[in-house]
């Protein structure tokens, strides 16, 4: 199980735990690239004006300044650490638009910083893995479908057990609320977004007392939020509520396209869930949230949506759709539940022993021959008794120990089984399962 960090909210992994994190990152990288996403990395800092232009989480942003400098919180050009990868990506697109081919597909895996209260699954420093597709002026809706399928592929390849990608559409929700006669759909969405935390009665009370809904309107909004299907039957359930609006029709059509494709290509993994609201204002269509089945208390491990105008410059507008995976949140739960473990804590497969102090260079020749063929190894630092050298290799988690005899012959020992055989540095290889450090 992962240790608690000495500084709350800033996790540090032990070597074997880091192997698990690297496995997650490598798996995501491989899947994203198979789907044609190019990798970028943006700087860790942005201006405060850039980060706070929508004013979502100003109390959670870490400012950046020299210790000797006077901190002016009102200076829009002062620097701060980015709290997500979407805002830096929007700036990146605007600044580099002339060098990008649109629609531009990118993935990005970096640390971000957020000054919130640390708790299970929430950190102040954590790694995110994002994918986005951005268009120049327009972006076909088919990318909303493709993003859901890409994430379903990526999460299916991870050692996390079952998951559910829950999808809704802001147009569907807004059209429904307007069809009910509620003229502040954003306020309704903010209330519905609290449904899982505070329950039906509390949300209904907010809708009536703060949003101005009637009891019947609040009941209808809650009825919509109860609809969940793994196929397109949600359309009939929404129609049965008797609400009509042009925007509702558009939202139903768009969500149907996502769910129809997902039910065919990722059956059981993607659900139409009409309670999903997503709190950020820039989402304009499809919205996604993902939970681990059996670990719902962890919250969403992957979320995002469609934004029609996240990035813009002058008359230029860059719509996009994207999803962000909380890698550190995922890894923390994998480690805490011991869902997987690393085969060993070090990359070394072979520990080359020293028969005597003068044999160090000869041992390095053996190591070089092994490394040339991709076999990770390390050489003993001193010629202690073989028993001590073997014990050291065992403590390191290295499975094979190499011996060179005075007559120039070699033997290698699997210290797990005790089997010891003759070996040639130019041709010997470990079993394929031992060649690389794996997780199981």
- Binding site as annotated, residues for L-histidine: 84-86, 114, 128, 132, 278, 282-283
Distance, CA of 184 to CA of 427 (rounded, Å) = 73
How would DSSP label each residue in 343-402? S-SSS--EEE--SSGGGHHHHHHHHHHHHHTT--EEE-SS---HHHHHHHHHHHT--EEE
Q: Which residues contribute to the annotated binding site?
A: 84-86, 114, 128, 132, 278, 282-283
Distance, CA of 286 to CA of 293 (rounded, Å) = 22
Spatial strand order in the sheet of 410-414? 377-379, 350-352, 400-404, 410-414, 420-422
CB 79 within 8 A of CB 47: yes
| β pairing state of 350-352 and 400-404 | parallel
Question: For the stretch 223-246, what's the b/e string if a residue is b when 16 or more beta carbons lie within 10 angstroms of its beta carbon?
Answer: bbbebbbbebebbebbeeeebebe
First to last CA, the chain: 15
Distance, CA of 308 to CA of 312 (rounded, Å) = 10
Cα torsion at 125, 127, 133, 136 (round to 10°)?
40
């Amino acid at each position: 199980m992962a240790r608690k960090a000495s500084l709350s909210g800033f996790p540090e992994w032990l070597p074997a735990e880091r192997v698990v994190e690297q496995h997650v990152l490598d798996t995501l990288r491989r899947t994203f690239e198979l789907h044609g996403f190019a990798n970028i990395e943006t700087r860790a800092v942005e201006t405060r004006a850039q980060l706070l232009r929508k004013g979502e989480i100003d109390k959670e942003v870490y400012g950046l300044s020299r210790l000797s400098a006077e901190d002016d919180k009102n200076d829009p050009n002062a620097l701060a650490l980015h709290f997500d990868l979407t805002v830096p990506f929007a700036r990146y697109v605007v600044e580099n638009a002339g060098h990008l081919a649109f629609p531009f597909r990118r993935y990005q895996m970096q640390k971000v910083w957020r000054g919130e209260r640390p708790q299970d699954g929430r950190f102040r420093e954590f790694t995110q893995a994002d994918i986005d597709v951005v268009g120049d002026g327009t972006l076909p809706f088919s990318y909303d479908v493709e993003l859901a399928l890409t994430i379903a592929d990526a999460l299916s390849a991870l050692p996390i057990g079952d998951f559910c990608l829950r999808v809704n559409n802001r147009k569907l929700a807004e059209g429904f609320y307007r069809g009910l006669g509620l003229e502040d759909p954003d306020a309704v969405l903010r209330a519905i977004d609290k449904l899982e935390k505070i329950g039906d009665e509390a949300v209904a009370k907010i809708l009536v007392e703060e949003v101005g809904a009637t009891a019947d309107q609040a009941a209808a909004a809650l009825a919509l939020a109860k609809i969940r299907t793994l196929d397109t039957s949600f359309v009939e359930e929404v129609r049965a509520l008797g609400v009509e609006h042009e925007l509702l029709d558009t939202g139903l059509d768009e969500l149907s396209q996502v769910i129809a494709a997902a039910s065919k290509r990722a059956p059981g993994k993607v659900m139409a869930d009409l309670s999903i609201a997503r709190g950020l204002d820039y989402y304009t269509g499809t919205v996604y949230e993902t939970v681990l089945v059996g670990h719902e208390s962890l919250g969403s491990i992957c979320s995002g949506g469609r934004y029609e105008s996240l990035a813009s410059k002058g008359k230029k507008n860059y719509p996009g759709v994207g999803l962000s995976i909380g890698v550190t949140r995922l890894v923390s739960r994998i480690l805490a539940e011991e869902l997987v473990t690393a085969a060993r804590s070090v990359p070394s497969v072979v520990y080359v022993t020293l028969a005597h102090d003068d044999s160090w260079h000869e041992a390095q020749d053996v190591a070089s021959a092994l490394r040339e063929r991709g076999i990770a190894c390390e050489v003993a630092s001193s010629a202690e008794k073989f028993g001590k050298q073997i014990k050291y290799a065992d403590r390191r988690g290295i499975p094979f120990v190499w011996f060179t005899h005075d007559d120039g012959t070699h033997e290698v020992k699997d210290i797990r089984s005790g089997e010891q055989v003759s070996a040639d540095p130019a041709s010997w290889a470990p079993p394929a399962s031992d060649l690389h450090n794996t997780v199981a």
